[in-house]
Amino acid sequence: MTTPADLLRAYDEQLRTDAETPSALSVERLGPLRLVTFAGGRGFVTYRDLGGADAGRVAELVAGAVERLEADPAIREIEWKTRGHDAAPGLHEALLAHGFEPEEAESIMIGPLTALADAPLPRGVVIRRVTDADAIREASRAADRAFGDEPDERRAAALVARIAREADRPDGMQMWVAEADGAIVSAGRLEPVAGTAFAGIWGGATLPSHRGRGIYRALTAARARSALAMGRTLCHSDSTEDSRPILERSGLVKVSTTTPYVRRRED
């Protein structure tokens, strides 16, 4: 599994549908689509492929997904996860017509975990895994601020609930943080994918005041070592243009792109 085509095939076969939704509260099928409900009022749409649907059928699927998910008043936003290599005629237009807005495209990165596992720890920085509710909430807030967003308390609450459910519904997710002067300056998740060789590296955003010190790389290395200890060998990550070059220098390969389209309830 060394070429980008091989890695992309592994992504499509192992990292879509069930692998994306280990913490789902519910999953409903609509043709090729999986309509997912997560904690915190979040709906999510994903699929392995669209089964050769033409533009007319794609528009019907988008309309049907919105109707079904928004029938649940608890859902405040819906994310439709698109991939750049999918055959999806008319999908962009159909999503826009139903109130979705595209967010920043990200690179789908795949490669060996061993390539990420060795990085120096910047002076004055502590890297650790957090499991208590207060630290998880603060980690979520720090990640939101690092991405330039206002802290989303619903997202933080969903992460706390997910950790709390670990005993009953284990999915292996871990939250890791980097601290400087006693404050969280970077945070990210590790998500092992059951039944595969993969673990996902998510987040890892660093506050602007602490960038350029190698904190993201050190935080990624700590998560990679944890994944290796679980027996995982491959890493996948949806990366912004800030993190993509760092992962490429460590040996990961860009195999495609992914763009989230988000619809937020107005009422």
Q: What is the pLDDT of residues 37-48, one digit of tens each?
A: 998 899 999 999
- Number of alpha carbons in the 13 Å side-chain half-sphere of residue 125: 24
Residue with tokens 């937020």: 264
Tell me the C-alpha distance between 128 and 229, whole Å: 15
Residue 244's nearest CA partner among 147, 105, 107, 116 is 107
Q: What is the percentage of the chain residues whose pLDDT exceeds 70?
A: 97
Tell me the C-alpha distance between 100 and 259, whole Å: 12
Find residue 163's DSSP bridge partners.
none
Q: Name the residue type at position 31.
A: G
Query: Could you give all domains of the chain from N- to C-terminal order, each with its CATH number?
Result: 4-106+259-264 (3.40.630), 111-256 (3.40.630.30)
Q: What is the pLDDT of residues 16-38, one digit of tens each?
A: 988 888 888 899 999 999 999 99
The pair of structure tokens assigned to 9 is 């095939």
Q: What is the pLDDT of residues 176-217, one digit of tens each?
A: 999 999 999 999 999 999 889 999 999 888 999 999 999 999
Task: Give me the helices (H) in the chain, please.
Answer: 4-14, 55-70, 91-97, 133-146, 153-164, 215-229, 244-249
CA distances from 240 to 82, 109, 195, 203, 247 (A): 15, 10, 27, 9, 10
CA distances from 154 to 160, 203, 238 (A): 10, 17, 22
Helix H, strand E, coil C: the string for 87-112 is: CCCCHHHHHHHCCCEECCCEEEEEEE
Residue 235 reports pLDDT greater than 90 = yes
Give the per-residue pLDDT at 203.
84
Q: What is the pLDDT of residues 152-165, one digit of tens each?
A: 888 888 888 877 76
Q: Are 19 and 10 in contact (CB under 8 A)?
A: no
Residue 130's nearest CA partner among 262, 222, 53 is 222
Give the per-residue pLDDT at 168.
58
Q: Are 197 and 233 in contact (CB under 8 A)?
A: yes
Exposed / middle / buried, residue 14 (Cβ in 10 Å: 0-12, 13-18, 19+):
middle
Q: What is the pLDDT of residues 49-98, one digit of tens each?
A: 999 999 999 999 999 999 999 999 999 999 999 999 999 999 999 999 99
Return the CA Rg of the chain: 18
CA dihedral (62, 67, 72, 77) positive or negative: positive
Residue 169 reports pLDDT greater than 70 = no
Q: Are 93 and 82 in contact (CB under 8 A)?
A: no
